[in-house]
């Protein structure tokens, strides 16, 4: 009897371990990657971004860095189509370093595309033209669309940078970029799913909110086929993404506070004006928005909103 109980316990342990392995395996994907790993879906997204109507799915070559990690970051989706190398990234947190990350990604992808070529030969190697796009659906308020440039990070500003990466960012939260959403039904339904999860999470635990959001979407024909086929993975990934987002946010706030305290300390030694300047510069380095910095200046240095806003105009580097 005792041996039988031990066997049952062992079988349960094996099942738990196997489940954890399966869940961890799907963490290499996000919901975005899961949805757009298929060529048909990816071409639909390409058409929506570029306002085209291509149908030649076989002409699309996926070049995503599968399971490749560089500096702890993964490439979401990249592909070659219409003589262009597209790098699509999904972001749930604001990250001003995306041009740099895309530079790293595109270098790795181009290395793969040209590995059989003679880089030292006399013949010019023809390359697909790189284009970089971010799809943002985090909780921080961001504009409908924006352009990010690698040169914005250069310590020494140049009128004509000899190295540049330009990234187009789209806010894909529900209610933004309606034309883009209507052109790509899958992207629209993904935004609806995320919105439903967040709405439910305001009044119940996040895990329960995800489960109920999946039920709601299936009933209302929102990602219904995908969620029905991939329910367990979709739920696991959604929960993991949320936990990761919360962890990154907590980590960012901790480093932000440390950086701001150091900035204030350095600045206050030279006076209140220098203190404001140091706090603003530190906030910029750590990726804060202007509005966040205004609130922080008011709170930390006890100045009026007008003074804080004026200081942002004065010290915020464009």
- By the 10 Å C-beta count (0-12 exposed, 13-18 middle, 19+ buried), 74 is classed as middle
pLDDT, mean of residues 256-275: 61
Q: What is the mean pLDDT of the chain?
A: 82
pLDDT the model gives residue 17: 34
Q: What are the extents of the domains in the chain?
A: 37-180, 184-229
pLDDT the model gives residue 222: 96
pLDDT the model gives residue 95: 86
The 3-state secondary structure of the chain reads CHHHHHHHHHHHHHHHHHHHHHHHHHCCCCHHHHHHCCHHHHHHHHHHHHCCCCCCHHHCEECCCCCCEECCEECCEEEEECCEEEEEEEECCCCCCHHHHHHHHHHHHHHHHCCCCCCCCCCCCCCCEEEEEEEECCCCCCCCEEEEEHHHHCCCCCCCCCCCCEEEEEECCCCCCHHHHHHCHHHHHHHHHHHHHHHHHCCCCHHHHHHHHHHHHHHCCCCHHHHHHCHHHHHHHHHHHHHHHHHHHHHHHHHHHHHHHHHHHHHHCCCHHHHHHHHHHHHHHCCCCHHHHHHHHHHHHCCCHHHHHHHHHHHCCC
pLDDT the model gives residue 52: 96
Q: State the pTM of this model.
A: 0.71
Instruction: Identify the weakest region by mean pLDDT among 48-57, 173-182, 224-233, 240-249.
Output: 240-249
Checking if the pLDDT of 51 tops 90, the result is yes
Select the highest-mean-pLDDT range: 68-77, 135-144, 261-270: 135-144
Separation between Cα atoms, residue 233 and residue 268, nearest integer Å: 51
- By the 10 Å C-beta count (0-12 exposed, 13-18 middle, 19+ buried), 58 is classed as exposed
pLDDT, mean of residues 242-268: 62
Checking if the pLDDT of 269 tops 60, the result is no
pLDDT tens for each residue of 109-167:
999 899 999 999 999 999 999 999 999 998 888 999 999 999 999 988 899 999 999 99
Cβ contacts of 102 within 8 Å, gap of 6 or more: 87, 89, 132, 165, 167
């Amino acid at each position: 009897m005792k041996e039988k109980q031990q066997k049952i316990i062992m079988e349960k342990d094996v099942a738990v371990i196997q489940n954890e392995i399966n869940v961890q395996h799907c963490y290499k994907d996000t919901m975005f990657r899961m949805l757009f790993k298929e060529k048909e879906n990816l071409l639909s997204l390409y058409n929506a971004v570029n306002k085209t109507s291509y149908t030649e799915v076989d002409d699309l070559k996926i070049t995503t860095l599968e399971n490749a990690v560089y500096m702890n970051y993964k490439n979401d989706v990249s592909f070659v189509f219409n003589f262009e190398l597209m790098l699509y990234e999904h972001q749930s947190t604001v990250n001003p370093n995306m041009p740099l990350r895309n530079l790293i990604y595109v270098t790795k992808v181009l290395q793969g595309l040209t590995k059989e070529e003679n880089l030292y030969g006399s013949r010019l190697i023809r390359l697909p033209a790189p284009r970089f796009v971010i799809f943002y659906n985090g909780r921080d308020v961001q504009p409908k669309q924006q352009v990010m440039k690698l040169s914005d990070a250069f310590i020494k500003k140049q009128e004509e940078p000899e190295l540049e990466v330009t990234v187009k960012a789209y806010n894909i939260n529900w209610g933004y970029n309606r034309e883009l959403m209507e052109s790509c039904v899958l992207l629209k339904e993904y935004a609806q799913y995320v919105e439903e999860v967040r709405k439910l999470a305001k009044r119940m635990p996040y895990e329960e909110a995800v489960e109920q959001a999946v039920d709601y979407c299936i009933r209302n024909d929102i990602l219904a086929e995908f969620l029905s086929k991939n329910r367990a993975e979709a739920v696991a990934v959604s929960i993991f993404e949320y936990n990761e987002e919360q962890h990154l946010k907590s980590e960012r706030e901790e480093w932000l506070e440390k950086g701001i305290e150091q900035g204030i300390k350095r600045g206050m030694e030279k006076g209140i004006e220098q203190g404001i300047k140091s706090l603003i510069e530190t906030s910029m380095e750590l990726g804060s928005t202007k509005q966040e910095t205004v609130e922080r200046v008011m709170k930390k240095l006890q100045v009026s909103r007008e003074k804080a806003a004026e200081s942002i105009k004065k010290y915020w580097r464009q």
